[in-house]
Amino acid sequence: MKKNITILDYGSGNILSAMQSFAKVIKNNDLDADISISGNPKSIKNSSHLVMPGQGAFETCIMGLKNIPGMIEELNKYALEQKKPFFGICVGMQLLANNSEENGNHEGLGWVDGTIRKLPSKNIKMPHMGWNSIKILKNNFKITPKETDYYFVHSYYFDCKNKENILAETNYGLNFPSIICKENIYGFQFHPEKSSDQGLDIIKNFLKL
């Protein structure tokens, strides 16, 4: 069956970088798939795989979603009811939390229990930017990353309430979740689309779901 991949455009996130990486994986692996960028909630209905990039402030990103009529409802239907594959990147991962403490207290999508908190800045440079390794905590999942370096850019982390949702963690001031998962929902604190071949491998595994 042909896959229909949508990169979600809600005014925040490195859309073109994500698009290029997914397109490269499709081409290199000869996958039967169409890929598009869309900010129209109606396009979610026809998607087999949904990708939500994100960069900048949590509040700006969540308001970007809320300001598109029908977007939150379609996202909830896609991920929570239909349980189709979802791929959140950086702030696109953090939006899955219940709330964020960045610049106040802001409500998230609430798909994965947790709170977005600031990384401790004592004796370390902020933001956490550049290559860092991940430690795999669970290996019984379909997206299998390598225990190697991936590319990070962030100052806040996902304080995950249920440790069962943490697939991998990274150390920078503290141990924080670098990959989370809840059933069909995957979130990556690092940028797979900027993480060389190991990042493309993660995208390939996602598209096989």
User: Which neighbouring-strand residues pair with 49?
Assistant: 5
Instruction: Please indicate whether residue 154 is annotated as part of the active site.
Output: no
Other Cβ atoms less than 10 A from the Cβ of 1: the count is 6
Catalytic-role residue among 49, 61, 90, 181: 90
**CA distance linking residue 11 with residue 19, whole number of Å:** 15
How many other C-beta atoms lie within 10 A of the C-beta of residue 30?
Answer: 7
The span from the CA of 108 to the CA of 180, in Å, is 15
User: Does 101 participate in catalysis according to the annotation?
Assistant: no
Please tell me the distance from the alpha carbon of residue 181 to that of residue 16, in angstroms, as a whole number: 24
* 3-class secondary structure, 22: helix
Whether 90 is catalytic is: yes
How many C-beta atoms lie closer than 10 Å to residue 107's C-beta? 13
Catalytic residue among 49, 106, 128, 191: 191
**Residue 37 and residue 15 in contact, taking contact as beta carbons nearer than 8 Å:** yes
Q: 4 has which bridge partners? A: 34
- Just list the catalytic residues: 90, 191, 193
